[in-house]
Amino acid sequence: MRRAAILVLAGCTPLAAVVDPPLAQLSRWESAGPAEIAAEPVSCSPGHAACPRLHMLRAEACMSIAMASRAPGAACPALRGNLPCAADSYAAARALTPNPAFAAGEAQARLCLAELLPPAEAVREAALAASAAMAAGAPILAARAALIAARPGAGTEPQRCAAAQAGLRLAPAGSREAADIALRIATIPDCGATP
């Protein structure tokens, strides 16, 4: 790997690509734009030191492209676009190097993706978002995931109630999320106004 780094630094990128493809990819991406990075899958062998950075760079590229298409003031884009790429890339980076920033990025990408899915499919993304949110130390994102899991059509009424009540426990008192979850609880029969 040391020799490959010297070759890249010396301008022998084609040779470095043969000797150490992940390092060559990292070198290419240092001067690439988000669209170029998002279009190229990560090429990494298990345990390679460049893998976490490659996945993180791809996650950020995909997320920046996805978020660039948002309407003014919107938290999420109106189309899936690069959201699956961002979510999967943040998850891959997080699997290799536990990092709250990677987990928060994954949670946000999955929350936006869940917003665009039918309720039954959104539940899966919301569960993954909640897990990532808790790994990030961001319970408010987990509360937002619970709100998605409590939507009509997202499960049985007891499942939706349990999701909403769990989300209410995570949402900061007085927050918009707490108010939205309390309203959702009130619409679910036999759920009650509070957990």
C-beta of residue 4 within 8 angstroms of C-beta of residue 20: yes
> Would you list the DSSP string of 79-125?
S-TTHHHHHHHHHHHHHHS--HHHHHHHHHHHHHHHHTS-HHHHHHH
Question: How does pLDDT run along the chain (195 residues), one tens digit per residue?
Answer: 455 444 445 554 555 555 688 899 999 999 999 999 999 999 888 888 999 999 999 999 999 999 998 998 889 999 989 999 999 999 999 999 999 999 999 999 999 999 999 988 999 999 999 999 999 999 999 999 999 999 999 999 999 999 999 999 999 999 999 999 999 999 999 997 544
User: Using the 8-state DSSP alphabet, how is residue 75 labeled?
Assistant: S
Indicate left, alpha or beta for 121 from its phi (over 0: left) and psi (-120 to 50: alpha): alpha
Domains and CATH numbers, the chain: 1-31 (no CATH), 32-187 (1.25.40)
Residues 6+ apart with CB under 8 A from 137: 100
Rounded to an integer, what is the distance from CA 125 to the centroid of its chain? 10
Rounded CA-CA distance 59/9 in Å is 25
Q: What is the pTM of this model?
A: 0.84
Residue 128 exposed, middle or buried by CB count within 10 Å (0-12, 13-18, 19+): buried
